[in-house]
Structure 1
């Protein structure tokens, strides 16, 4: 049982972070922030804002975002402290290894592999839907058999576009982090620019009467909205997986975590104010609430702008989460918990190409042949489990290692971490039973693999 709790030395991890292990250190503060924004802001800004307002909070959806943002910020601040203290690839997996031990690290790493892969697969399907709609508008119709996975429509056999975009992002990440980061920066700039245009244009059509009653469903509705939109304000953890590709990780990682979440939260609140101000909140309960709101005031051309933002936004989400998944896989392989074959870098591009391409292939197959619905809820439970581990680890480490140098300190410990833990537990409890069952099966499978392979093969076992 002692093997389950053996830990990495934080001092050794800090020393390793300064060594050249092959990955290229090319990412600065704004490239890291763009990865975080790419993970946080996706199509959700154009969907969850309206749905949560119509079903739960009404115009008080801005309070829902503030509450969800504060809860997410509690976890973000804990991530920021770890990122400045242990600037090593692997994010929550590596942090758990240093604080809770090898067994907990394996389980959280195994959890994150599932989470990130499912995010990529689910988002690829959403991107395919937007792209097919744009192609139809310009008169291009792909064959019926290639429009969706079996069971999603008559004659559907495969979602070809979802498969192709998954493989394309994997190929881009394989060709080098610097070029891939520039592409992601461009997508994020386009996305943020279009969101700002939507907010500015919408501000001229606000009718303040639409904000009354401000809280039609009471404070309980506000909390229900917060639980729903919470899943639109995480994703910043993806940037911490690129710690060993950052130029100055101890300085830039904590800043990028906080900056990306703050920018995203401001944009979400701005979008909420606009759409509830230009259209009655009860008209926003549909798959395209932002487009519906602008149609309500007669600005139908904005739908093309929104589609363009969704295309760019979803691409950056695919980039951020596939990057995160491949770096987690790389870190676990380098530690011996998975075969070393996966941690071999490409001779030319210096990227962990094997896990990247495998994740690309797996997500392509899942997105191409699986109608993703309730399976996507596994993403939520996986993320929340990681948040609980990270927040708990900050409390433990403050007590056991108060002497460690911390480039960034989470304020008000243990209050802030406990807020993150409490909100995450509240949301996990609200998830359907089938989600718990699927998550449990995946974690049991991971535990068996650890007992049969990782326990014997890890670097710590050999040392």
Structure 2
């Protein structure tokens, strides 16, 4: 059924012909999924639900399994720079594909100031300065990752190994030095705020498990996507689950009530266990995490932009770089300019980045819904993959409600994507392909 919907423009093969390895794929997933939330979310969840927040962490790991597995199955079958946009094209046609592509491309661009400012804010606190310092350091972080990606995914994939390795090492050290000070009495009272507190904790932690869609845009860059993507996803699920539960567990067992009173529990654990300044530790972790997130997203955005240009959802000038081994430098240039504009908008609004981040989250959850729905049409009906996609779709639709008024941003982008497809010259050039896809 899914194969019949191909439009002839997707690289739907099981061999990518790229250079990314399974280990590099795991590094990309770890950087994209663990993200910046791991530094602060354990304390926020502990404040909302107490020790019961551990149940929220476990629950969302369980939710991640069908979502991640569906993305891996689809990317392995249809490795293409379009990622979820490609899945949507094959399942629902070019208009829905354009919407999914715009949601990731422009949604992630809107969130770039937030992703980079997270790390830069801690650097500012360490070295001293004001908001201008935070912005300057954030721009430097973006510039580093843009420069790395200008050399192609082969280089950015290797650099990502360093980022992910350093992050994993910091997390492991934090757990190891903290375990001797663990006290099971800190588990009482277990649920001081009842079921309502647990629900709040889950709503907060949802954003800690977004990022599984990112690597699908790089599927064509893997040596054997159909084999490597599911393997990298499975390993990543295990690594991310162990690391997050370990950090969340020692946060509760070691810090107790103090876990809800600090903005950076992970840094506090490291500082108390090693004797190093908490500010220094926090800044190092924040920078490493931010660089990992930015590197993964800029690599994915650049590839996606070239695919959207190829398929008529964005100007055809962007199409260069969508194939395996090619560097999408034109799309990378647009990503750089778009990020700069996002910074300007953020600065004009007083650099209040939370609305931008929530708007990006609304777009990403929308992409998840489309991708999971595509999985129910493209994966063999009744198979394990099909059932996982159906379960994931139901779970994602529930999560989508949490976006509330921020759903307006993806709605505006959807209108823009459909309008562009209808009136642009790119859409006219792809009319025959559109008819085939529909």
Aligned equivalent of 2:314, options 313, 331, 338: 338
Alpha-carbon distance in structure 2 between the residues aligned to 1:286 and 1:360: 34
Over 3 Å counting, the alpha-carbon distance change for 1:40 and 1:18 in structure 2 is: closer
SS at match of 1:83: helix
Q: 1:323 offset after TM fit, Å?
A: 1.1
Over 3 Å counting, the alpha-carbon distance change for 1:300 and 1:145 in structure 2 is: closer
Kindly indicate whether the alpha-carbon contact (under 8 Å) linking 1:124 and 1:163 is maintained by their aligned counterparts in 2: yes
Structure 1: runs of 5+ lacking an equivalent: 1-5, 149-158, 403-408
> 1:146 matched to which residue of 2?
132
Q: 1:245 offset after TM fit, Å?
A: 1.3
Alignment of structure 1 residues 58-457 onto 2, 5 Å: 58-136=50-128, 146-148=132-134, 159-281=135-257, 283-292=259-268, 301-345=277-321, 350-367=326-343, 370=346, 371=351, 372-398=353-379, 410-411=384-385, 413-414=386-387, 416-433=388-405, 435-453=406-424, 454-457=426-429
> 1:156 matched to which residue of 2?
none
> 2:433 matched to which residue of 1?
460
Kindly indicate whether the alpha-carbon contact (under 8 Å) linking 2:111 and 2:356 is maintained by their aligned counterparts in 1: no
Over 3 Å counting, the alpha-carbon distance change for 1:82 and 1:410 in structure 2 is: farther
Alpha-carbon distance in structure 1 between the residues aligned to 2:186 and 2:133: 39
Q: 1:331 offset after TM fit, Å?
A: 0.9
Corresponding position: 1:33 with 2:26: yes
SS at match of 2:127: helix
Over 3 Å counting, the alpha-carbon distance change for 1:294 and 1:210 in structure 2 is: farther
Kindly indicate whether the alpha-carbon contact (under 8 Å) linking 1:117 and 1:321 is maintained by their aligned counterparts in 2: no
TM-score, with length taken from structure 1: 0.84
SS at match of 1:430: helix
RMSD value, Cα: 2.7
Q: 1:332 offset after TM fit, Å?
A: 1.1
Alpha-carbon distance in structure 2 between the residues aligned to 1:10 and 1:343: 15
Structure 2: runs of 5+ lacking an equivalent: none
Q: 1:439 offset after TM fit, Å?
A: 2.6
Over 3 Å counting, the alpha-carbon distance change for 1:285 and 1:446 in structure 2 is: farther
Kindly indicate whether the alpha-carbon contact (under 8 Å) linking 2:43 and 2:260 is maintained by their aligned counterparts in 1: yes
Cα deviation digits, residues 38-73 of structure 1 (max 9, x gap): 101222111011111112x21122210111111122
Kindly indicate whether the alpha-carbon contact (under 8 Å) linking 1:233 and 1:261 is maintained by their aligned counterparts in 2: no
> 1:8 matched to which residue of 2?
6
Kindly indicate whether the alpha-carbon contact (under 8 Å) linking 2:120 and 2:137 is maintained by their aligned counterparts in 1: yes
TM-score, with length taken from structure 2: 0.88
Kindly indicate whether the alpha-carbon contact (under 8 Å) linking 2:41 and 2:204 is maintained by their aligned counterparts in 1: yes
